[in-house]
Amino acid sequence: MQQRLSWLFIGIALTIIIILFVSSSQTYEEQSLTSSLDKLLANKPFEQQLSAISFHYAGSEISIAAKGYSSFIEFFIRKGAHFFSYALLGFSLFMGFSAFIKRTWLVISLSAGIPLGYAAMDEFHQMLTGGRTPLVQDVLLDFSGAIVGLLIAYVVIKQIRKRDILS
């Protein structure tokens, strides 16, 4: 892969880190989607089907009965944002480092370790932000996203190198 493209991926990773930092600097109230979701989902689509879903996350029950419809939906949006932003981070780091570092184990280690370390620091940062709760479960969710992202990148790089060898 061209080094210029690798720098683009590293730039994407740095942009994600900046966005995550700004996001965790905001209070829950500043980020809350519930009032918008109340309006957007006023007729509560799929409420009957979703009411059957109930589980615990970080010691709290997650269900429509416990949280209310909009807060229940917001939970999945927020956790999905966690997972996918860190998946993109892991993917971008792997793609970026692959052109500069030839040892795959080191690329994997950095592409997993940087998001893991950042997720932990991000939760600490949230602890310092009013109205936010740092959760070990969120670090694990973020790390899982990063692992999925770097695994996808690993497959992509393998296919690119395989294609280049066969050409």
User: pLDDT at position 119, please?
Assistant: 97
Domain ranges of the chain: 3-36+80-166
Query: What is residue 1's predicted lDDT score, i.e. its pLDDT?
Result: 56
**Closest-CA residue to 112 (of 94, 132, 85, 138):** 94
pLDDT in tens, the chain (167 residues): 578 889 999 999 999 999 999 999 988 888 899 999 999 999 999 999 999 999 999 999 999 999 999 999 999 999 999 999 999 999 999 999 999 999 999 999 999 999 999 999 999 999 888 788 899 999 999 999 999 999 999 999 999 888 887 75
- How far is the C-alpha of 164 from the C-alpha of 39, rounded, in Å? 52
> What is the distance of C-alpha 58 from the center of its chain?
17
Q: What is the pLDDT of residue 15?
A: 98
The pLDDT of residue 105 is: 97
Contacts of 98 (CB under 8 A, 6+ apart): 1, 6, 107, 153, 157
pLDDT at residue 29, as a whole number: 87
E strands in the chain: 54-57, 60-63
pLDDT value, residue 154: 96
What pLDDT, on a 0 to 100 scale, did the predictor assign at position 48? Answer: 94
What is the reported pLDDT for 167? 57
pLDDT at 16 (0 to 100): 98
Angle at Cα 84 formed by Cα 24 and Cα 139, nearest 5°?
Answer: 55
pTM assigned to the model: 0.91
